[in-house]
Structure 1
Amino acid sequence: MRTAIVSAMHEELAAVLALMPDEQRQRVAGRDFWIGHLHGQQVVAVLSRIGKVAAATTATALIERFDVGSIVFTGVAGGLAPGVQVGHVVVADSFLQHDLDASPIFPRYEVPLYGTSRFATDAALTERLAAAAQLALPDAILHRGLIVSGDRFVATTAESRALQSDLPQALAVEMEGAAIAQVCHDYGVPFAAVRTISDRADDEAHVDFLRFIREVASRHSAAVVEALLRAGQPGPAA
């Protein structure tokens, strides 16, 4: 089965496509899906687009139309936990939607009718992804744990501190991962995600983010993906 490589930014997707010798474009749901091979593995690469709904649509199309056996998501995030700094790498063990609140009918953050607020990533695939990140980025500090997602770019110190207070276990914040995690949970498809910290989700986030995307993000994503696929098929065997 194919492995889906989902990138958060155009620069990251371009870096992954540069590694694929035979990519062919297919357009589905207004998105460009690039089918080909990377280190002998069948892959399909795509841009997630921004926000939870867009990311969920992308993940659903990957599963329904391209029959992927696993989804790997690379990208950037804002650091929340005190020790998670710019340039560090976070491999997600689970995701939560920080802007979901159906209380008092359901507890805050709990996804209605699921009985949980967190969706775990696939343990085996996550271990492989963490090993690939350590191999590809030996000088980067690696963290494992909770990443939170929401439909807003957290870019003020006040917002960041509020999230840290409400969700002290959260290592980083971004805008798509929890949606993909929920879709993969529904379909039983293994999912793993790695995020490089581009900013501290504070008053300087917009400045740090743009510079980081230009200088670091694409290189990190391509290196981790290449290390993962070079090590062997991360999803179920074809």
Structure 2
Amino acid sequence: MTTRPYRPPGDVLVVSATRAEAAHVPDGTQLLIAGLGKVRSATALTRHLAAMPGRYRRVVNIGTAGALHDHHAGLYVPSRAVEHDLSATALAALGYPTPDSWDIPAGDGSVLATGDTFVSDPAARERLSRRADLVDMEGAALVHVCTEFQLPIRLVKVVSDNADDAAMDWPSAIDAAARDLRDWLTATDFGREPGPR
């Protein structure tokens, strides 16, 4: 019996901050390496979607995240993304309401905090843990872009560190995380919802 190779769906765009985090996605995946941080990732995704209107039915952002609670490990599909380094309350008080959080359907109940700071300080970790389960540098920015384009998005994050001093060992955890991300993509057919396509 011959097993046919897995064929990724052509209308799902997978977005990763780094090539290392996407090292094991299946061949033929529609893949965008968007860069680290909110501005780079949001700019790259905006340019890509604007250049290919109507091309995709969903975006899936894969990557690593720091755990804000010691019991968090493994893979998460967040239900909410928050931009933790935006002063949304102060801006609203000045008369400029600016969204800093987004709900994401079909998640697992976890909350992802996104900011341009690489979190490794215990005080910052404790403060963020009151709002979120995980922390990264791109997720909420990509959700914001997809909201503007009225395009569904899934965030899929593998815990690579505990957002503490060990976070600086992040490069050593990427390959194992990339394999877990590949396994999620293939097991869920890139996050396809149940029912007819």
Query: Which bracket does the TM-score occupy, shorter chain normalised?
Result: 0.7 to 0.9
1:27-106 paired onto structure 2 within 5 Å: 36=28, 43-66=29-52, 67-85=55-73, 88-106=74-92
Q: Is the 8 A contact 1:12 1:222 kept in 2?
A: no
Provide Cα deviations, 1:37-92, integer angstroms capped at 9, x if missing partner.
xxxxxx5211121000111112213321233221001110000034213xx22211
Tell me the equivalent position of 1:145: 110
Q: Structure 2 length normalisation: TM-score?
A: 0.82
Q: Give the superposition deviation at 1:184.
A: 0.9
Tell me the equivalent position of 2:103: 120
- 2:120 partner SS: coil
Q: Is the 8 A contact 1:62 1:68 kept in 2?
A: no
- In structure 1, how many angstroms separate the alpha carbons of the residues matched to 2:16 and 2:115? 17
- In structure 2, how many angstroms separate the alpha carbons of the residues matched to 1:45 and 1:148? 23
Q: Is the 8 A contact 1:78 1:201 kept in 2?
A: yes
Task: Say if 1:77 and 1:232 are closer, same or farther in 2 by CA, change over 3 A.
Answer: closer
Provide Cα deviations, 1:89-145, integer angstroms capped at 9, x if missing partner.
2211111111001553426xxxx544x431122x2xx35xxxxxxxxxxxxxxx532
Tell me the equivalent position of 2:7: none
Q: Give the superposition deviation at 1:179.
A: 0.4
- 2:119 partner SS: coil
Q: Give the superposition deviation at 1:192.
A: 0.6
The structure carrying a bigger helix percent of its residues is 1
Q: Is the 8 A contact 1:159 1:202 kept in 2?
A: no
Task: Mark the runs of 5 or more structure 1 residues left unpaired by the alignment.
Answer: 21-35, 37-42, 128-142
Task: Say if 1:103 and 1:149 are closer, same or farther in 2 by CA, change over 3 A.
Answer: same
- 1:12 partner SS: coil
Task: Mark the runs of 5 or more structure 2 residues left unpaired by the alignment.
Answer: 1-9
Q: Is the 8 A contact 1:81 1:169 kept in 2?
A: no
- 1:204 partner SS: helix
CA RMSD of aligned residues (A): 2.4
- In structure 1, how many angstroms separate the alpha carbons of the residues matched to 2:19 and 2:190? 23
- 2:110 partner SS: strand
Count the aligned residue pairs. 183
Tell me the equivalent position of 1:137: none
- 2:164 partner SS: coil
Kindly, what percent of the aligned residue pairs are identical?
28
- Within the candidate set 171, 174, 180, 2:136 is matched to 174
Tell me the equivalent position of 1:5: 14
The answer to whether residue 187 in structure 2 is matched with residue 204 in structure 1 is: no
Task: Say if 1:6 and 1:231 are closer, same or farther in 2 by CA, change over 3 A.
Answer: closer
Q: Is the 8 A contact 1:120 1:181 kept in 2?
A: no
Q: Give the superposition deviation at 1:178.
A: 0.5
Q: Structure 1 length normalisation: TM-score?
A: 0.69
- In structure 1, how many angstroms separate the alpha carbons of the residues matched to 2:190 and 2:167? 34
- 2:78 partner SS: strand
